[in-house]
Chains A and B, each alone.
Chain A
Amino acid sequence: QVQLVQSGAEVKKPGASVKVSCKASGYSFTNYNVNWVRQAPGQGLEWMGIINPSGAGTSHGQRFQGRVTMTRDTSTSTVYMELSSLRSEDTAVYYCARGRQGVSGPNFDCWGQGTLVSVSS
């Protein structure tokens, strides 16, 4: 079945970087974009960015400009999200979610289990 499995929880100090992985299985990896969404404690959902595993093109929200890098490894069907210059406000659960195929399919139809990133001195 379609599945996204993320890497484990991380604890980082302010100013450091974190790299979260998301391994896809059960579908053709290069046929679907992958999105990153985060959720601060007790808060709502915030879209961070999207990567096309086929051509590696990316797009991200302006508030993450210069701090987020999304990459992929087609040999392992894994996408990565790296966030740099971490601050306490980046403490959140980070999710990957499968994107849409074509213009009329479901979007975000499969989510990873989430990765808690804690930023504290």
Chain B
Amino acid sequence: DIVMTQSPLSLPVSPGEPASISCRSGQSLLRTNGYNYLHWYLQKPGQSPQLLIYLASKRASGVPDRFSGSGSGTDFTLKISRVEADDVGVYYCMQDLQTPYTFGQGTKLEIK
């Protein structure tokens, strides 16, 4: 199984400040087609997860451009340019290069 490791696990951020979450995979998620099979999800309190970024850097429909994803191979980053109160929740990375699909442990973002 591909192990996904996120850091930090807890992220207190002041409104308007930037935030960054790292995700590392146990093996390269880059396929020969040029896509990295790494995705980012946000689970707001009491809600189902929602897709933010897919294939490492593509923003999902309706996601504000404050959110961006980058990285390739085994190292990936989710960045929020200016954190808002509505961004609180747990952020997960996930790989679907191969089954079983695996998630990172989650990063809990809270507002200072």
Residues of A within 8 A of B (CB): 35, 37, 44-47, 50, 59-62, 95, 97, 100, 103-109, 111-114
Contact = CB atoms under 8 A, between A and B. Distances in A.
A95 B39 contact: no
B35 A103 contact: yes
Interface of B: 33, 35, 39, 41, 43, 48-51, 54-55, 58, 60-61, 90, 92, 94, 96, 99-106
A84 B15 CA distance: 46
Contacts, number: 65
A106 B51 contact: yes
Describe A's contact surface by its main secondary structure. loop
A45 B92 contact: yes
B54 A95 contact: no
Nearest to A95: B48
